[in-house]
């Protein structure tokens, strides 16, 4: 096991009706900006629940955060913060709204051009405005970590950030809020969380029994509950377990002290940039192909994954690894997520665009060994057509 620091100060308020007590967790004298995305927050009534819980306070609202939150939009929010002397942010939404809120929290207190935060790193970020979240879509884990991704279409860039100042003060996780989500979003969330876990688990053995055991347990939970969550949308314990799984998939716990991959994410981001395919769906395309391509490097962990996650213990190493990769692909398909580039209208000719974009963004040495080159990516994508 590698040395690690683990520190996650976010307070989780989990369960039914937790929005009602929101007021207790925001400083009495705070001037609050509620940040949300499209119309669903209004339509589902969650925004109204939040307003009711915070009634008596002066609230300012900022809607319109995009699914891949845009840099220009975050700057508009910063202007609202300055104009209204806001002192506390409340994100109401999924990973995109929370990611945007984190960036807004940094940018609103940043001395200098906020674009630096995305391009020069967060070393110069010494503070962020405090913020809480009300999670409406279990998927990204942003509600209990300190990172995010911001898109700048003008620069054709989707840029990640991370800062110790970006942990939410609190996050409200009410599984009942997910009952009305479209099946597509539940499926995407399950797939996203699944691949988050895989990126931190399926590399090479590092003697990390606890992290491996937790990762395998979370993967089995998603495999068991993901399809059930689609079949019976109002089964509380299923939605609750799936929501808590997605949070723990990327709150730092299973990734401490172990090698990490993240190549599927980096490649997937460029597919989304190309034709706006849902993030989770790009992962479901890339991952099975990448696992097959990297079966040499990942040999031991693929066998462990086959056995401990899928119960595959019969046959030669190659047979078991094939079976585990097939099971992974079949699981995504079972969730209603297609796993081929051609399913998303991407043909052989466009692979070069994806590879070039990766190169332009400096992503020329991916994976846990930093040895997946553009040539390797081309081959992985060709195999996923």
Tell the smallest beta-carbon distance from residue 165 to its own copies (Å): 15
Per CB under 8 A, 11 contacts its own copies: yes
| H helical segments located in 132-235 | 183-201, 209-231
Per-residue interface string for the shown chain with its own copies, residues 17-36, x marking contact by CB under 8 A = xx------------------
The size of the interface with its own copies (CB under 8 A), counted in residues, is 43
Distances (CA, A) of 175 to 157, 189, 217, 304: 33, 13, 20, 32
CB of 166 to its own copies, least distance (A): 15
| Sole window of 42-50, 122-130, 154-162, 233-241 interacting with its own copies (rule: CB under 8 A) | 233-241
User: DSSP letters along 20-86, please?
Assistant: GGGGGGS-TT--EEEEE-STHHHHTSHHHHHHHHTTTS-EEEE----SS-BHHHHHHHHHHHHHHT-
Tokens (6 digits) for 362: 């400096």
Report the nearest approach of its own copies to the CB of residue 85 (Å): 29
H/E element, 133: strand 131-135
Q: Quick one: which segment of 40-48, 119-127, 202-210, 364-372 binds its own copies (CB under 8 A)?
A: 202-210
- Find residue 160's DSSP bridge partners: 149
User: Which CB, 68 or 251, lies closer to its own copies?
Assistant: 251
Q: What is the largest CA-CA distance in the chain?
A: 67
Minimum distance, C-beta of residue 245 to its own copies, in the bound complex (Å): 6
Q: Of 206-225, which residues contact its own copies (CB under 8 A)?
A: 206-210, 213-214, 216-218, 220-221, 224-225
Least separation, in Å, of the C-beta of 237 and its own copies? Answer: 3
The interface mask with its own copies, positions 292-311, x = CB under 8 A, is: --------------------
- Other C-beta atoms closer than 10 Å to the C-beta of 121 total 12
Would you state the structure tokens that stand for residue 213, as one six-digit string?
A: 């055991």
Residue 176 or 322 with smaller CB distance to its own copies:
176
* Helix/strand/coil for 372: strand
The piece of 2-10, 65-73, 105-113, 271-279 that touches its own copies (CB under 8 A) is 2-10
Least distance between its own copies and beta carbon 70 (Å): 32
124, 236, 276, 371: which one binds its own copies (CB under 8 A): 236
> What is the distance between the alpha carbons of residues 240 and 216, in angstroms, rounded to a whole number?
19
Q: Closest by alpha carbon to 199, among 138, 254, 270, 273?
A: 254
* Residue nearer to its own copies on the CB measure, 238 or 291: 238
> Any idea what the Cα angle at residue 310 is, between residues 304 and 312, rounded to 5°?
70
Kindly tell me the sign of the dihedral angle through the C-alpha atoms of 48, 54, 56, 62.
negative
Closest by CA position to 225, among listed 271, 263, 193, 200? 193
Nearer Cβ to its own copies (240/380): 240
Minimum separation from the CB atom of position 173 to its own copies (A): 10
Q: Which stretch binds its own copies (CB under 8 A): 14-22, 27-35, 60-68, 115-123?
A: 14-22
Q: Is 371 in the site for its own copies (CB under 8 A)?
A: no
> How far is Cα 207 from Cα 312, in angstroms, rounded to an integer?
22
Q: Candidates 13, 230, 353, 385: give the one binding its own copies (CB under 8 A).
A: 13
Cβ neighbours of residue 250 closer than 8 Å, sequence gap 6 or more: 140, 141, 142, 144, 145, 193, 196
Residue 162 engages its own copies in binding (rule: CB under 8 A): no
240 binds its own copies (CB under 8 A): yes
Residue with smaller CB distance to its own copies, 2 or 126? 2
Give the phi and the psi of residue 145 in degrees, each rounded to 5. -140, -175
Q: Does 7 bind its own copies (CB under 8 A)?
A: yes
Is residue 351 part of the contact set for its own copies (CB under 8 A)? Answer: no
| Per-residue binder mask for its own copies (CB under 8 A), 246-265, x = binder | --x----x--xx--------
Which residues of the shown chain bind its own copies in the complex (CB under 8 A)? 1-18, 206-210, 213-214, 216-218, 220-221, 224-225, 236-238, 240-241, 244-245, 248, 253, 256-257
């Amino acid at each position: 096991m590698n040395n690690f620091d683990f520190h996650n100060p976010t307070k989780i308020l989990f369960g039914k009706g937790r929005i009602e007590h929101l007021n207790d967790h925001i400083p009495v004298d705070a001037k609050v900006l509620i940040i949300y995305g499209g119309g669903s927050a209004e339509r589902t009534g969650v925004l109204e629940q939040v307003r009711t819980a915070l009634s008596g306070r002066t609230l300012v609202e900022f809607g319109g955060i995009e699914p891949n939150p845009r840099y220009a939009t975050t700057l508009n929010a910063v202007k609202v913060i300055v104009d209204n002397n806001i002192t506390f942010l409340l994100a109401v939404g999924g990973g995109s709204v929370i990611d945007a809120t984190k960036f807004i929290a940094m940018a609103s207190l940043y001395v200098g051009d906020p674009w630096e935060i995305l391009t020069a790193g967060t070393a110069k970020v010494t503070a962020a405005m405090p913020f809480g979240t009300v999670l409406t879509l279990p998927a990204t884990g942003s509600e209990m970590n300190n990172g995010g991704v911001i898109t700048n279409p003008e620069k054709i860039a989707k840029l990640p950030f991370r800062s110790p100042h970006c942990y939410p003060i609190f996050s409200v996780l009410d599984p009942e809020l997910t009952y009305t989500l479209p099946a597509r979003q539940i499926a995407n969330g399950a797939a996203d969380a699944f691949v988050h876990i895989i990126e931190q688990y399926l590399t090479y053995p590092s003697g990390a029994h606890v992290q491996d055991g937790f990762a395998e347990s979370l993967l089995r939970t998603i495999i068991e509950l993901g399809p059930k969550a689609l079949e019976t949308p109002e089964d509380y314990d299923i939605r609750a377990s799936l929501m808590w799984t997605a949070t723990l998939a990327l709150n730092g716990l299973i990734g401490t002290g172990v090698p990490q991959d993240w190549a599927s994410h980096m490649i997937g981001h460029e597919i989304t940039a190309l034709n706006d395919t849902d993030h989770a769906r790009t992962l479901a395309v890339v991952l099975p192909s990448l696992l097959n391509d990297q079966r040499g490097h990942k040999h031991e962990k693929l066998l462990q994954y086959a056995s401990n996650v899928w119960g595959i213990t019969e046959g030669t190493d190659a047979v078991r690894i094939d079976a585990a990769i097939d099971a992974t692909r079949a699981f995504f398909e079972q969730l209603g997520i297609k796993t081929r580039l051609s399913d998303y209208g991407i043909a052989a000719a466009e692979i070069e665009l994806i590879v070039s974009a990766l190169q332009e963004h400096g992503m020329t040495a991916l994976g846990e060994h930093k040895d997946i080159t553009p040539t390797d990516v081309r081959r992985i994508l060709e195999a996923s057509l």
